[in-house]
Structure 1
């Protein structure tokens, strides 16, 4: 097991090439979709990350055979013998992930019942699961709260329904898709999320035999079918990881080629990256990101659901903005607690002030709710090494970027959390020339407990 503390000796530009595989926000969901098929599915471009291992374990608990395919990063999933799983085993596997909530629809279709324990995930703001259960009730599921979790039953075949989301939630949209495809009748979902990973999941389901239409204005219509087959699919690349490495190149004044990065899903990020002063070059195999040597520009930025600037891009970019000249304004509109990571950057020498007011162009749903969801970043500032405790997945990688850009040595605690979404990140750091080391039993370095992902 990887030690949970990393020593980072900063001040060295990242230079070289790394490879990004399939999206963390698609691959585990595509694995869950395999439960719906009558035959085996073949998923390619799968990253070796913790969320994939969690879902693999949960699928195997439910009788799905999961094995490696013929090429690296390929999984073959055979759901021919789906069965109920032991409650304690489910709880042991699921405690570190929120993905088990997406097992509900497929298991209700396959077994007529499902069990969901308490869920984990990154602590970046409210991510209530109640709406998932409300959606499942709309399809006809009966839900009973028990001490160990939620027990769900489908006394009859689930039926299509009309749903309008109060906010275009990715998780809620995935729940509807995975449940509606085998439900009786038509499901109409309004105000749906339309992220590239959602579209790729729809492609997976269509390959299986689903009938799904994406209309304008965030409307998705699903016509239920009686049965689905397996699929063969290559997952789209992880645009969020690609952007993280781009920000690392910018913050460290480096030059990083991200093999596997794709322009189409990153167009909004690339525009902002260029406005800040970063340079990039796109070719058929990936994107090269580098610092051109000129002072970086301060910008005004608001996060939003796709096609806006993704919230998962915000934290890595904020680190780069500490090196930009002037005042940058960041308005976080997706997760109300995502700017908490900035306090550690201030300890390293950054000048970041957070505010409860909406500092963006338009008020958002957090504006009157007393959340620190806007930030002003004053730069450039020199960063100094520090002791850092990782708060969440993207914030954790952002701390790594800050430590790499800083002068001196940082101790980064809780790095196991980064394994949730960044494949082989230690190997990639070293391939780019980063000066990092695992202290093992080095005296004086506190070994932090693994953080629930």
Structure 2
């Protein structure tokens, strides 16, 4: 199994290009199931999760043709030839559940395994199912699969999510595009990935109002056609690499970055003493002093502080001049990176959904193990600021969400390399 070796090497300076959003692309790809015409996605990230989604869609009858470097994906599902999403593929990634709504909307039937993914809490799919039931779906859960039917097709309905759910909003939104009549989704997620999906579906002929607000209204249409759509910038990759000069010092341009994608995150960075400048080319990030100031963070649905940047922010706050408190309100069990950071000299006390971090003068290199996708990159960030060498093991998590990490960081002066398993 590959490992990442990092030696703390001082400030970072240079440019880092930001890829298309993993979470957006994984949502856009299943939209091909809604039409028999080609869906062309540009600015696609080159990640293992994208390959997993491609495998799943191909198993359902989709033909996928990538360009030479994988940044353009042409998907065409002339016919859904198989309506069962098998456990062996779905278990690898939670986003696999997003094929349920489109298959049900187009053909009135779908059987989808309950999904897997990072071990960061239960993250149940009940909200996906309840939203589809509001559109007339009949569901039967047995043998680890969701068996869904919609005799005569889905029909418009009103559903209010009891809590905000990005995935459930995406699934319901796609299903509603082909439902008969009007669907109203209340307390809907407002993330940029939702807006991006709605824009793509609209280009395919869907009639959608309110994406980006907490109420989305969809007027169902008889069919959708093909379209070309550019995947939105990855705000989580953007935030992650903004933290690199913040923790190491230096000045880095995040090419393609936009403040509106990470506004709440930017506020916390600036509170910690990090300079952020928006330019036509992207965001320029620079640490102002020798040590950052402590800040308190509470994760919330967009536009609040993203849960997917909590682990990375903790790495920064391990080096702050004082005590910070991070409260995780989205997922339980999402502080599994804390024990690994303590191996590097961090002082972290976790009590339930709250972590108290007492900043230290310097972290120390150590062998550590990645527990999930965001935890893996938080350990790399910590290693950039640590004395000596850090070896990050189980980096297959990292490859699910970040492309060319070693190349992007080493181009700015980091001493980082991947060591292939023997």
Aligned to 1:326: 322
Q: CA deviation at 1:437?
A: 3.0
Q: Is the 8 A contact 1:160 1:185 kept in 2?
A: yes
Aligned to 1:19: 17
Q: Distance in 1 between matches of 2:152 and 2:413?
A: 58
The TM-score, its normalising length taken from structure 2, stands at 0.94
Q: Given the superposition, is the C-alpha separation of residues 86 and 187 from structure 1 closer, same or farther in structure 2, using an over 3 Å criterion?
A: closer
Stretch deviating more after TM superposition (386-395 or 107-116): 107-116
Q: Deviations over 1:199-253 (max 9, x none)?
A: 1111111111111111896111111111111121111100110110111221122
Q: Deviations over 1:72-106 (max 9, x none)?
A: 6111111223211666xx33322211122111121
Aligned to 1:55: 53
Q: Secondary structure at the match of 1:416?
A: coil
Q: Deviations over 1:395-449 (max 9, x none)?
A: 111011112211111221110111111112232233233222334457xxxxxxx
Q: Distance in 2 between matches of 1:38 and 1:61?
A: 16
Q: Given the superposition, is the C-alpha separation of residues 176 and 383 from structure 1 closer, same or farther in structure 2, using an over 3 Å criterion?
A: same
Q: Distance in 2 between matches of 1:297 and 1:278?
A: 9
2:345 to 336, 342, 349: 349
Q: Secondary structure at the match of 1:324?
A: coil
Aligned to 1:375: 355
The TM-score, its normalising length taken from structure 1, stands at 0.88
Q: Does 1:203 align with 2:183?
A: no
Q: Distance in 2 between matches of 1:215 and 1:255?
A: 35
Aligned to 1:335: 331
Q: Deviations over 1:149-194 (max 9, x none)?
A: 2222222211111111111110111111011111111111111110
Q: Given the superposition, is the C-alpha separation of residues 300 and 146 from structure 1 closer, same or farther in structure 2, using an over 3 Å criterion?
A: closer
Q: Distance in 1 between matches of 2:75 and 2:315?
A: 39
Q: Secondary structure at the match of 1:438?
A: strand
Aligned to 1:418: 398
Q: Is the 8 A contact 1:61 1:85 kept in 2?
A: no
Which aligned runs of 4 or more in structure 1 are off by greater than 6 angstroms? none
2:6 to 5, 8, 14: 8
Q: Distance in 2 between matches of 1:93 and 1:12?
A: 42
Aligned residues: 422
Q: How does 1:94-105 map to 2 (within 5 A)?
A: 94-105=90-101
Stretch deviating more after TM superposition (171-180 or 278-287): 278-287
Q: Given the superposition, is the C-alpha separation of residues 441 and 44 from structure 1 closer, same or farther in structure 2, using an over 3 Å criterion?
A: closer
Aligned to 2:163: 167
Q: Distance in 2 between matches of 1:215 and 1:405?
A: 40
Q: Distance in 2 between matches of 1:390 and 1:216?
A: 33
Q: Distance in 2 between matches of 1:287 and 1:310?
A: 18
Aligned to 2:382: 402
Q: Secondary structure at the match of 2:23?
A: coil
Q: Is the 8 A contact 1:160 1:183 kept in 2?
A: yes
Q: CA deviation at 1:292?
A: 2.4
**RMSD of Structure 2 on Structure 1 (CA):** 2.0
Aligned to 2:115: 119
Q: Is the 8 A contact 2:41 2:230 kept in 1?
A: yes
Instruction: Give 5+ residue unaligned stretches, structure 1.
Output: 356-371, 443-453
Q: How does 1:27-426 map to 2 (within 5 A)?
A: 27-69=25-67, 73-84=71-82, 90-147=86-143, 149-214=145-210, 218-355=214-351, 372-426=352-406
Q: Distance in 2 between matches of 1:113 and 1:209?
A: 22
Instruction: Give 5+ residue unaligned stretches, structure 2.
Output: none
Aligned to 2:418: 438
Q: Is the 8 A contact 2:108 2:154 kept in 1?
A: no
Q: Secondary structure at the match of 2:185?
A: strand
Aligned to 1:363: none
Q: Given the superposition, is the C-alpha separation of residues 157 and 118 from structure 1 closer, same or farther in structure 2, using an over 3 Å criterion?
A: closer
